[in-house]
Each structure stands twice: as structure tokens, then as C-alpha cells.
């Protein structure tokens, strides 16, 4: 995706192809990655009907990082490791930006004693199992629709550039969020502390307030301080208003007094 984007992206750059890139990237990151994968599937920070959850998870799979099972396993492993006093450099994003880029996007972490994962009901869901097995192929129907609507330029910018930007951007924000930036909270005894990336709040749909997320990981609202943009929570709030989401968890619903301290 990255090589195709670098070679053919400039050749097909136009106002319409760039608009397709912005709209498709924003939609998949908001509905799929932020709301579907992170706040619903991983943290269960709100409840919704199964049909809506499946739709959001399919959109999240179309972001292009991986299937739902891999996302849950990777997140939970990293989350557990970062709470330990001694976290491996790979899981802590240490060692410099260049090495972290190579490690995170081009290498695989192989553990001598890997943890077991109980995916529960999700692991038995035939739809999620299909997505896990075919996550790369989910780009094909999108590419077909884009080709029919706008030709190869829409495919290049609506699939290749979108996926390359989303995957690389996810690593880049993750690297910054664990190495530098402002902090409001510290997690007691955690080996890795999180940071906020204010300039990335809008393109990440609120996920860039990562210091808040480490403090209140189960909260559907990540931008918890005044002036902190959180489009992911805004969408969940909209779902709640129209009756499509309920049991929305907020920071005040979580007992974190002994686990965090204010900086």
C-alpha cells in the first residue's frame, strides 16, 4: 500500500481524489477504529445492538491494520506490559523513532511464554472469525465501488493512500503518546506512562488524549478536560441520544482514585 501510494499517488492527485481520501480516512478511523475497535470491542465502554457492533467492527477492519482478534490481543498484551514496572522496549516504544518504526511495522514480537487469551463470545462469532481470516480482502469491495465511481485515482487515494496513512499514522501517534508530550495523570507503579498529543486530537478522533486514556481506560470519553476535542465520544453521544447506544461509561463511573495521581 505504501509503495503504491508513493509511486501512483502523485500521478492521480486531484481535488476529487484527495476529497475521497479525507472522507474515507475520517469515516473509517472514527466509526471503525476509534468507536468500533477501541471503545466498543476492546474496552466495552458502551453497549449497543449486535448488528451495529458488527457494522462498526467491519469498518474498523477496513482501516487496514488487522482483524478484530489480532487487535484485541495486541492491545491487551501491550496494555498489560505497560502496567508492569519493567516493560520490554518493543511494547514501551523505546529505542528511538527509527528502530520503533521498523519494529512496530515490519517485525513480529515472539514471546517464549506467550499469554493465553480468552476472547469469550466474540471468539465464537462466525462473522468476526471471517473478518479475522479475510481482513486484507475487505479492501476489494471498497476498491470495486471506488473504481466504478471514479476510476483508478479514487482507488489509489481511497484505498492505498488511506491504508498506508492510517497504519503509519497509528504507529506514529502511538510512539509519541508513549514517549513525549503533556501529562495530567500518572498511573501508579506503571513502567510506561502515557502522554497527550494535542495537535492530533481531531485526526485521531480524540484518541490522542492518551494520557487521559491510561488514567481512565474504560471510559467512552477520552477528551475529559475542557477544550479537548473528542469526536469519538461525540459520535457515541449521538448514538445514545437516538437510542442506539446505552450504558455509556464515563470517568466518574470508574473507581480509579488509588490507581492514578494527578500531576
Q: Which 3-state string (H, E, C) describes 34-93?
A: HHHHHHHHHCCCCEECHHHHHHHHHHHHCCCCCCHHHHHHHHHHHHHHHCCCCCCHHHHC
In this prediction, residue 116 has a pLDDT band, given cuts at 50, 70 and 90, of: confident
**Mean pLDDT of the chain, nearest integer:** 95
Mean pLDDT for 135-152 is 97
Instruction: Find the Cα–Cα–Cα–Cα dihedral 30, 33, 37, 38, rounded to 10°.
Output: -80
pLDDT of residue 115: 84
Residue 147: domain span: 2-262
Q: Within 10 A of 132 (CB to CB), how many other CB atoms are there? A: 18
pLDDT of residue 156: 98
Q: Within 10 A of 262 (CB to CB), how many other CB atoms are there? A: 7
Number of independent structural domains in the chain: 1
pLDDT, one tens digit per residue, over 44-54 is 999 999 999 99
In this prediction, residue 114 has a pLDDT band, given cuts at 50, 70 and 90, of: confident
SS3 171: helix
Burial class (CB in 10 A: 0-12, 13-18, 19+), 196: buried
In this prediction, residue 160 has a pLDDT band, given cuts at 50, 70 and 90, of: very high
Amino acid at each position: 500500500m505504501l509503495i503504491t501510494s508513493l509511486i501512483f499517488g502523485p500521478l492521480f492527485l486531484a481535488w476529487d481524489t484527495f476529497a475521497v481520501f479525507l472522507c474515507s480516512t475520517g469515516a473509517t478511523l472514527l466509526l471503525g477504529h476509534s468507536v468500533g475497535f477501541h471503545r466498543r470491542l476492546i474496552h466495552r465502554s458502551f453497549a449497543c445492538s449486535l448488528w451495529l457492533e458488527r457494522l462498526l467492527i467491519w469498518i474498523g477492519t477496513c482501516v487496514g491494520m488487522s482483524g478484530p482478534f489480532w487487535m484485541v490481543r495486541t492491545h491487551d498484551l501491550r496494555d498489560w506490559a505497560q502496567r508492569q514496572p519493567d516493560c520490554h522496549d518493543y511494547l514501551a516504544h523505546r529505542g528511538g523513532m527509527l528502530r520503533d518504526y521498523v519494529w512496530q511495522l515490519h517485525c513480529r514480537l515472539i514471546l517464549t511464554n506467550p499469554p493465553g487469551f480468552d476472547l469469550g463470545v466474540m471468539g465464537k462469532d462466525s462473522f468476526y472469525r471471517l473478518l479475522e481470516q479475510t481482513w486484507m480482502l475487505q479492501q476489494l469491495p471498497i476498491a470495486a465501488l471506488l473504481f466504478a465511481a471514479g476510476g483508478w485515482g479514487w482507488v489509489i487515494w481511497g484505498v492505498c493512500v488511506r491504508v498506508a496513512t492510517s497504519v503509519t499514522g497509528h504507529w506514529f501517534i502511538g510512539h509519541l503518546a508513549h514517549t513525549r508530550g503533556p501529562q495530567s495523570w500518572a498511573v501508579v507503579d506503571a513502567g510506561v506512562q502515557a502522554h497527550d498529543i494535542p495537535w492530533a486530537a481531531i485526526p485521531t478522533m480524540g484518541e490522542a488524549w492518551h494520557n487521559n486514556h491510561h488514567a481512565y481506560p474504560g471510559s467512552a470519553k477520552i477528551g475529559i478536560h475542557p477544550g479537548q476535542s473528542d469526536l469519538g465520544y461525540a459520535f457515541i453521544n449521538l448514538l445514545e441520544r437516538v437510542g442506539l447506544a446505552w450504558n455509556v461509561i464515563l470517568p466518574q463511573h470508574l473507581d480509579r482514585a488509588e490507581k492514578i495521581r494527578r500531576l
